[in-house]
């Protein structure tokens, strides 16, 4: 099972990232420490184009930081690496899961479960298909246009409203993602989201920890 230090996903509100495209010379572990200091509940390691050795070194550097803070390290795209290093969560896109031949979460997480699984979704149909596979959480987005997903049309607040509607039966925790910043956060809340994933608005901030704290404060004020 995933380690005991990880809080339940239902209690996780702020999902942050150590994205190597945004490091700009910063140390990845120090950046993770700042995210933890700001109150990030989950921190995804996203390292597009990194070699397996580079990924392993990054994961090994980040895991002690997140463990000490009680945050969950999420490994993007590489479930085997998550299992190897002992990260509690892995995240896969639609193509990385379904096009790779997976049909159930247990094919990734193991049985008994060794790691938690999150899946990206971009339409109601994708969300429904993902939910049938049994993930531990799903991501809804990109809500707004975002440089982290160039060329992908935003799903708009309509998909957030769909996920928030009780009749649609999204019974697992879900995170709105994509272009979210402090200026449009109230729109996200009004559409029904209470968990968010934020990349550039935190990583581009002059004070990463302070940016996290501001998002966390707004999330707390929005309630559950």
Model pLDDT for residues 190-201, shown as the tens digit of each residue: 999 999 999 999
Predicted TM-score of the model (pTM)? 0.95
For residue 141, being part of any structural domain is answered with yes
Using alpha carbons, select from 61, 55, 95, 97 the residue that is nearest to residue 75.
55
Which domain, by its residues, includes 84? 9-222
Does position 138 have pLDDT exceeding 90, yes or no?
yes
Q: What is the rounded distance in angstroms from the CA atom of residue 139 to the CA atom of residue 25?
A: 29
3 located within any domain? no
CB atoms within 10 A of CB 101: 7
| Cα dihedral 117/119/124/128 (nearest 10) | -40
- For residue 2, being part of any structural domain is answered with no
Q: Name the one residue in this structure whose structure tokens are 């929005």.
A: 222
Q: How many domains does the chain contain in total?
A: 1
Is 93 inside any structural domain? yes
Cα separation of 163 and 171, whole Å?
10
We report the CATH number of the domain holding residue 80 as 3.20.20.70
Given this model, what pLDDT does residue 223 score?
86
Residue 188 placed within a domain: yes
């Amino acid at each position: 099972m995933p380690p005991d230090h990880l809080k339940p996903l239902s209690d996780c509100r702020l999902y942050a990232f150590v994205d190597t495209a945004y490091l700009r010379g910063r140390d990845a572990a120090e950046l993770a420490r700042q995210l933890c200091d700001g109150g990030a509940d989950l921190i995804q390691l996203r390292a597009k184009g990194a070699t397996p050795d580079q990924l392993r070194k990054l994961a090994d550097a980040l895991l002690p930081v997140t463990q000490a803070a009680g945050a969950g390290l999420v490994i993007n795209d590489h479930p085997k690496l998550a299992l190897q290093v002992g990260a509690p969560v892995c995240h896969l896109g639609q193509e990385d899961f379904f096009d790779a031949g997976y049909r159930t979460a247990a094919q990734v997480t193991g049985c008994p479960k060794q790691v938690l699984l999150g899946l990206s979704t971009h339409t109601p149909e994708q969300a429904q298909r993902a939910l049938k596979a049994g993930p531990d959480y799903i991501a809804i987005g990109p809500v707004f246009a975002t440089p982290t997903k160039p060329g992908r049309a935003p799903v708009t607040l309509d998909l957030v409203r769909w996920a928030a509607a009780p009749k649609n039966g999204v019974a697992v925790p879900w995170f709105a993602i994509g272009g979210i910043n402090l200026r449009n956060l109230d729109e996200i809340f009004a559409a029904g989201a209470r968990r968010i994933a934020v990349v550039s608005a935190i990583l581009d901030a002059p004070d990463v920890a302070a940016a996290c704290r501001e998002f966390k404060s707004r999330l707390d004020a929005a309630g559950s």
